[in-house]
Amino acid sequence: MALQIRPNCEYCDKDLPPNSTEAWICSFECTFCADCVETRLHNVCPNCGGGFVPRPIRPAREWRPGVSVQMHPPSDKRVHLKYSPDEVAAHSAKLRNIAPEMR
């Protein structure tokens, strides 16, 4: 099963194209830009409480049959947080001093 490769930051709505090196995801594929992960979320997913890793970039070229961005296109569905900035800040403050592997 391929990642959805969501098109935007769920916090600030910045466009994150499939080849963006600024996209970060949690284990549930919540997607945020690097700036929001660092300055607003403090490496705490506001949805699940986990940490983030850089989102992999799906190959643009089909190096192996059936495996490329053309064969598995990214999602065009924009996702937005259901929590307010204040709720996100409180959640992050509660968890950010606990290492992701200990949460």
pLDDT at 46 over 90: yes
User: Quick one: what percent of the chain has pLDDT higher than 70?
Assistant: 100
**Mean of the pLDDT values across residues 62-66?**
94
Find residue 8's DSSP bridge partners.
15
pLDDT confidence of residue 99 = 97
C-alpha span between 91 and 69 (Å, rounded): 35
